[in-house]
Chain A
């Protein structure tokens, strides 16, 4: 009796084994395709890893280039300002000279007026005086030249004012630098997670994210005065209590 029970159990186990083999036959191709997939995926992951690594290593160069652009534009701006200062100083000297000449012209007019009175009885002398006055009169021309010179001086000053664009673009570039530094840090972390051996950890430590306090990412060269008007409104119409309320 016991012998037949054992046989039943044996057949049960054999059946289970048979099902297992059947299942195995079904699952083996799946495992095989999984292995094949893994074989295909590993080089792909290595490629991704290498691409990320490569991209991350190029970022410092991009940062240096941005820094170089900032330095170059600052230097160029200073040079422009130096030249504008020289031009402005020269114009100021010309302005002074013209003003002196205008003063002399005014004095000449006064003398001519006095001479006309003195030579009142001598028609020929008065006629010659009028002719001399007409021939030597340069007051109007001097006034026009002075106006042109003053306008040129004002234009030169406006060039200086327009150079505020350099500070604003520097802040925009600093914001871009901040952004790419953040990207580099994330890429480096990603590479480290994939394979620590593929990136020099020392390099990662060198990544310094620029301090956001040193630039305004929203900086823009905009001649629209709406932002100034907003500041004026807040300054003029808001009491301290209201400011406190808005701030809290």
Chain B
């Protein structure tokens, strides 16, 4: 399966770190977005994207709102979504799970954790 990732984060630094990590894991195909709204626009225009990695706290549209929008769109609802965020308290994690996120990484992450979570998302997809 050819994977094409959408990396969503308002931080240029984090987008680059995640993209570099993907390259390091052997995934070369990815696009980036600076907020949830931009991500949705990309997702609706590029059907080849089959994996979303998103931050939570972003301007315009948060990662949580993005997940809810993805899950409520018939064409996108099955997309694996991995959240990478600084929010690590129980209530936040439960809120993300309730929004039907596939997996959850608390920043700062290690490359090993990113690899594991991508594999888990793909295995359960």
Residues of A within 8 A of B (CB): 74, 77-78, 81, 85, 157, 160-168, 170-171, 211, 213-216, 218-223, 227-228, 230-231, 234-235, 238, 243-244, 246-247
Contact = CB atoms under 8 A, between A and B. Distances in A.
Contacts of A222: 108
A2 to B, nearest CB: 89
Nearest to B65: A213
Interface of B: 9-14, 16-17, 20-21, 24, 56-59, 62, 85-90, 93-95, 97-98, 103-111, 113
B98 A230 contact: no
A244 B95 CA distance: 9
Contact of A216 (B56, B59, B104, B105): B56
A235 B57 contact: no
B122 to A, nearest CB: 15
Tell me the interface secondary structure of chain A in the complex: helix
A228 B89 CA distance: 10
A235 B104 contact: yes
Contacts of B12: 74, 78
Given A74-B12, A77-B13, A157-B20, A244 B98 contact: yes
A28 B28 CA distance: 89
A165 B108 contact: yes
Contacts, number: 108
B108 A213 contact: no
A227 B88 contact: yes
Which 8 A-B pairs give the minimum distances between C-beta atoms? A227-B88, A219-B86, A164-B108, A167-B11, A227-B106, A231-B104, A247-B98, A216-B86
Given A216-B87, A231-B106, A238-B97, A160 B20 contact: yes
Contacts of A227: 88-89, 106
Nearest to A88: B20
